[in-house]
Structure 1
């Protein structure tokens, strides 16, 4: 309920009916003053969603600590007590991705990466190059008697790349470089040669391969740097991720529909479970993000240890939550529920990986 000031005039501004108390009995509009201070725009938004009567906070408490409770309550027909599933998912999704955009976890400024290393800040490649593995190995072998630890050290040092390989690695990961002229796609250096070969040997996957190849050669001809490609690819993928998740919701519900009684459970019921579970996932992904962000901001070992412990517990809880919620909503036997839940998680993990790959391909094609 709003805390706006009631109007002295009891005539509803919306429909003209007489308002005896706070809300119009004809149209339901609240009979409060229509002009407010500027800050009211923001406080009204928060108030409208959170409902100071406790609806929002009660929804969050049940969502986080009572797996399946919201879904059961909603399917029982008690739908005024908590925030509706779609509204909850949209709000949580908005908050999560807004925080991600506001506090990026990774610095996407790939350009000029070399210039960022001052004289006292050697890069990883500089440290690898400075480690003269051959000299260390020779000094160990020069010992009259080699211990087991010496043998282990030699084996580990032999795995490390030599200076020439380090130079190649640094060149490959240098984000300020453009795509080299000798770099090929499918064994071809130019778009013309690739199109000619594709016309002679058509493939069932040409609808995917040809657009990707054309985009690769386009970026190569434009002289776009690796850093620009990585930055645009990351930004575009992040921009498309909320849409991809929203598209994935019906697929998640479809997998639930496959494994449960069609007469007892409607697709609608699975959709409600999916919306609640994804709201829980997004909220906890936000918590994980904030914890990881905190660990990057502090160098105090004790605090980081506590944060990593919280992070570990949270990750375990996220996995366990699905099994508990699934059993409470679908009322299946413990072993059967665990078995079905495991199959569902594996299926969705596989399907989501396909979605991520598809999202990356679409994002790559959208790079300008």
Structure 2
């Protein structure tokens, strides 16, 4: 929607004489648009601009959800004016995503203490608890054998204290972990773009195209997880984890097929290693994020 301008004959700032096509002054850069009008005209303009942005906003969300890869394709083709820019869309959605996690799902990120963690693990998975206790016993015996190594004992004690403090300060730990996870996801996006760059090397695409795919994919996954969290809040007995995984896989498959124009078979063959590489990267970054959160707590 073109902006309806009330144009000057001369620039009020520098006196340059405008031509009809000048929307901005070529001399000083000031916009060629008269704002000295009744308030009702300014209100009408603001409403018109807002309505136009809302239309763009909802159109973008509609295609993001219902047509995997469509927004990436449009961006790569240079058809961008009708849609919200990818990074702006990601930032907007991520704010609501981490707010939703903080309000409804953050209690699962941290347990209150070490004993509570052991009890929780024993209740949910006795075999895993037994292995943890065995490993803990072995670690204690090894520490006992290494008591003469003073530096090692001090380091182990320091790490143990940090870990216990991290678990005991539950609210502070949760906030720090959420903050670091948000940064982790921001790092993961360009890395996933690089994974796509490697898998589709033969297409000789610019890295930016793969990065935009990654941004749109993560934005959709954020929306999906938000919806899943809200479903579990309403229906507490309903487990959405499996559905989130399957829908994410299906969305990624159709998005890859739409953007990279390969056959269904070639896309399916590439999907599994791409997704497994992505999950492995996610797991490594998450463990590193938890470690950093503990060490700097």
Whether the aligned pair in 1 keeps the contact of 2:166 and 2:294 (CA below 8 Å) is: no
Aligned partners of 2:231, 2:196: CA distance in 1, in Å?
31
Gaps of 5+ in 2: none
Deviation at 1:106, TM superposition (A): 2.5
Q: Does 1:280 align with 2:281?
A: no
Deviation at 1:32, TM superposition (A): 5.1
Deviation at 1:12, TM superposition (A): 8.5
Aligned partners of 2:82, 2:189: CA distance in 1, in Å?
24
SS in structure 1 of the partner of residue 142 of structure 2 = coil
- Which residue matches 1:69? 70
- Which residue matches 1:234? 174
Residues 109/246 of structure 1: CA separation in 2 closer, same or farther (3 Å cut): closer
Superposed CA RMSD in Å reads 4.7
- Which residue matches 2:159? 215
Deviation at 1:355, TM superposition (A): 0.6
- Which residue matches 2:85? 84
SS in structure 1 of the partner of residue 107 of structure 2 = coil
Whether the aligned pair in 1 keeps the contact of 2:232 and 2:240 (CA below 8 Å) is: no
Residues 10/319 of structure 1: CA separation in 2 closer, same or farther (3 Å cut): farther
SS in structure 1 of the partner of residue 200 of structure 2 = coil
Q: Does 1:329 align with 2:259?
A: yes
Deviation at 1:281, TM superposition (A): 0.9
Whether the aligned pair in 1 keeps the contact of 2:225 and 2:244 (CA below 8 Å) is: no
Q: Does 1:188 align with 2:131?
A: no
SS in structure 2 of the partner of residue 82 of structure 1 = coil
Residues 67/266 of structure 1: CA separation in 2 closer, same or farther (3 Å cut): same
Deviation at 1:50, TM superposition (A): 7.8
Deviation at 1:352, TM superposition (A): 0.8
Per-residue CA distance 1:219-249 (angstroms, 9 max, x = gap): 67xxx59533x55443321111111111111
Deviation at 1:285, TM superposition (A): 1.2
Aligned partners of 2:281, 2:151: CA distance in 1, in Å?
34
Number of residues paired by the alignment?
Answer: 267
TM score, norm. by length of structure 1: 0.58
Residues 14/50 of structure 1: CA separation in 2 closer, same or farther (3 Å cut): farther
Q: How does 1:311-322 map to 2 (within 5 A)?
A: 315-322=245-252
Q: Does 1:271 align with 2:211?
A: yes
SS in structure 2 of the partner of residue 67 of structure 1 = coil
Deviation at 1:264, TM superposition (A): 3.0
Aligned partners of 1:15, 1:281: CA distance in 2, in Å?
51
Whether the aligned pair in 2 keeps the contact of 1:63 and 1:280 (CA below 8 Å) is: yes
SS in structure 1 of the partner of residue 95 of structure 2 = helix
Per-residue CA distance 1:307-340 (angstroms, 9 max, x = gap): x498865653222000000011001111111111
Per-residue CA distance 1:224-282 (angstroms, 9 max, x = gap): 59533x55443321111111111111110111111113453111110111111111111
Deviation at 1:48, TM superposition (A): 6.2
- Which residue matches 1:341? 271
Aligned partners of 1:262, 1:49: CA distance in 2, in Å?
43
SS in structure 2 of the partner of residue 83 of structure 1 = coil
- Which residue matches 2:295? 365
Q: 1:354 aligns with which of 279, 284, 288?
A: 284
Residues 31/65 of structure 1: CA separation in 2 closer, same or farther (3 Å cut): farther
Per-residue CA distance 1:57-115 (angstroms, 9 max, x = gap): 1000000000111011111111101111111111111121123234455287948x99x
Aligned partners of 2:168, 2:173: CA distance in 1, in Å?
10
